[in-house]
Each structure stands twice: as C-alpha cells, then as structure tokens.
C-alpha cells in the first residue's frame, strides 16, 4: 500500500469507529444509561478495540510492519 492508500484507510476506519461510538452513546442516552456505563460499553466493545489496533498498525512505519 502506498502512503495515500494508508491515509484513506485510516480516515475510513476512524470514521467508522466514531460512528460506532456515537451509535452506542445515542442509544445509551435514549435508554437513559449513565454516561459512565456507556463509556465502559465503548471501552469493552470488541469491534471498536479491534479498530483501534488496526489504526495503530497503520501508524507504524511500513518497514516495521510484518506482512504475511
């Protein structure tokens, strides 16, 4: 992947992660779930955590990345 592809991927993944977080917050608000609990739900969400890991890996310089 070239630099432009990586930047686009980061942007799309970040956008998706934010939408997921906002969806949890919006639904929590509708259900009157306390903010602390909704934050906990976000922090423990496996999909969001996986997206964070992917974003970190995209920030790593290509020479340091293991491909396979």
* Any domain includes 15: yes
| 32 within domain boundaries | yes
Q: How far apart are CA 28 and CA 66, in angstroms?
A: 38
Q: Classify residue 67: in a domain, yes or no.
A: no
Alpha-carbon radius of gyration of the chain: 15
Are 51 and 13 within 8 A, CB to CB?
yes
- E strand or H helix that includes residue 23: helix 3-30
Tell me, yes or no, whether 51 lies in a domain: yes
**pLDDT tens per residue across span 11-61:** 999 999 999 999 999 999 999 999 999 999 999 999 999 999 999 998 876
Q: How many domains does the chain have?
A: 1
Long-range CB pairs of 14-19, under 8 A, 24+ apart, other chains included:
14/55, 16/51, 17/48, 17/51, 17/52, 17/55
Q: How confident is the model at residue 63 (pLDDT cuts 50, 70, 90)?
A: low
Domain, as residue range, for 20: 3-55
């Amino acid at each position: 992947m070239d630099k432009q592809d990586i930047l686009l991927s980061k942007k799309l993944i970040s956008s998706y992660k934010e939408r997921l977080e906002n969806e949890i917050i919006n639904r929590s608000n509708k259900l009157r779930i306390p903010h602390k609990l909704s934050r906990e739900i976000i922090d423990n969400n496996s999909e969001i955590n996986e997206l964070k890991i992917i974003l970190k890996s995209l920030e790593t310089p290509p020479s340091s990345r293991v491909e396979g």
